[in-house]
Amino acid sequence: MNKKLKNAAIVFLGDFSYDARCINMALSLMKENYQVSIIHSQLNAKPLDPIFKKIKFFHLNIQPKKIVTYFSFYKKVKFILQKNNFDILIAGDLYSLANICKYKNKSHLIYDCREIYFELSAHQKHPIKKYISYLYENYFLQFIDTVFVTAESDLSLLQSTYNKHNHLKWYTLYNFPYSFDNKHNINLHKKLNIPKQYKLLLYQGVIQKHRGIGALIEIINCSSSLCAIIIGDGAALDQYKKIVSDKNLNDKIYFLGKIPYLQMLSYTASCDIGWLIIKPKGISNKFALPNKLFEYTLAGLPVISTKLPNMYPIIERNNFGICVNENNLKEQIQAVHNIIDNYKKYNHLADLTAKQYIWNVQHKQFIKAL
């Protein structure tokens, strides 16, 4: 590591408090005594965890107005970067990529490519958007020094797609959670007045289509001993809330909204089973290896998952839960009851995850790339 590179900034079009990858990178940088700055969008100022007290924050109030959002964010970030000097600039997503490229040869430029953006499921019916995403990413990669990806499958596909950019250094940084040694126990049964005998199925993450939330609702609807906890926000939130209301399930399915990342595992640990149904709509979904898999197991929750190529081997090899067909509701219901009836089989989850699947095991890899 170059000891002169001690001043790093992460640029992210989103709220840092809720983003696992940005938080993990920031904590790693702090651990190595970097001066860390976070440039992010935050609609409502809120108290930050004391662990971040040494970080300098630039809170940008960006209103969600589709294309206007991106131009507003770009303009405000540009002003900040002009007034400050950073040895390392990390674009925390595709939407921050354009912001840092002007500073090539002044800073080490890193792009955290956390999705295969031109293959998002949202682009399947919009080939023009898909092509624009590809053109945008391809153009700005010429200015970047280093790219992070979240799985070996992504690495292979993106290196092949952008093979003309042979100057790039590529690193795989998995979506592993930070250790949660200081989590506080939260009793959701007591907090939400749920009878103790009810088992809690948990979905946490972005609330959107193709994430099995509809199937989760149906499972709760046909059960007399299960409740669902849904943590997060997203475009499909209102749609699913309406379905729950129409089915009179408000006393069995609870939407808790977004919870800051460093507090979330306390809620996770209060549940019984992690819901990880992802339909392979688009290559980005097909290659998914999300945070929530490892967050569930770190909290001791066995998972019910689909047989996607990056998740299936890890779940099967480590006995992390049961993989099912994403379209077979009967099979999913059987999996829920199988896990409940054999729950002691999963007592190893938290310890195993803490040894093999937390951010600390790739901390040195991250620092080496700077």
pLDDT at 1 over 50: no
Burial class of residue 184, CB neighbours in 10 A (0-12, 13-18, 19+): exposed
Q: Which architecture does CATH list for 188-355?
A: 3-Layer(aba) Sandwich (3.40)
Residue 121 pLDDT > 50: yes
The yes-or-no verdict on residue 355 having pLDDT over 90 is: yes
Helix (H, G, I), strand (E, B) or coil at 265: helix
CATH 3.40.50.2000 residue ranges in the chain? 7-173, 188-355
pLDDT over 60 (residue 155):
yes
Confidence of residue 181 (pLDDT cuts 50, 70, 90): low
pLDDT the model gives residue 199? 97
* Across 303-325, average pLDDT: 97
pLDDT of residue 184: 67
Q: Most distant CA pair in the chain: distance in Å?
A: 62
Q: pLDDT averaged over the chain?
A: 93
Residue 13 has pLDDT above 70, yes or no: yes
Residue whose tokens read 């099995």: 212
Q: What is the pLDDT of residue 189?
A: 96
> For residue 3, what pLDDT is reported?
53
Query: Which pLDDT band holds residue 142 (cuts at 50, 70, 90)?
Result: very high
| pLDDT value for 183 | 60
Query: Distance between CA atoms of 254 and 267, rounded to whole angstroms?
Result: 12
CATH superfamily of 7-173: Glycogen Phosphorylase B; (3.40.50.2000)
pLDDT in tens, 20-78: 999 999 999 999 999 999 999 987 777 788 899 999 999 999 877 778 889 999 999 99
Q: Flag whether pLDDT at 216 surpasses 60.
A: yes
Both tokens of 254, joined, read: 């609870």
* Residue 136 clears pLDDT 50, i.e. is over it: yes
For 331-351, write each residue's pLDDT tens digit. 999 999 999 999 999 999 999
| Cβ atoms within 10 Å, residue 259 | 17
The model's pTM: 0.93
User: Phi then psi for 33, rounded to 5 degrees?
Assistant: 65, 30
* Angle, helix 261-268 to helix 20-31, in steps of 10 degrees: 120
Task: pLDDT band for 281, please (50, 70, 90 cuts).
Answer: confident
Report, as an integer, the average pLDDT of 290-304. Answer: 96
CA dist., res. 64 & res. 340, Å (int) = 41
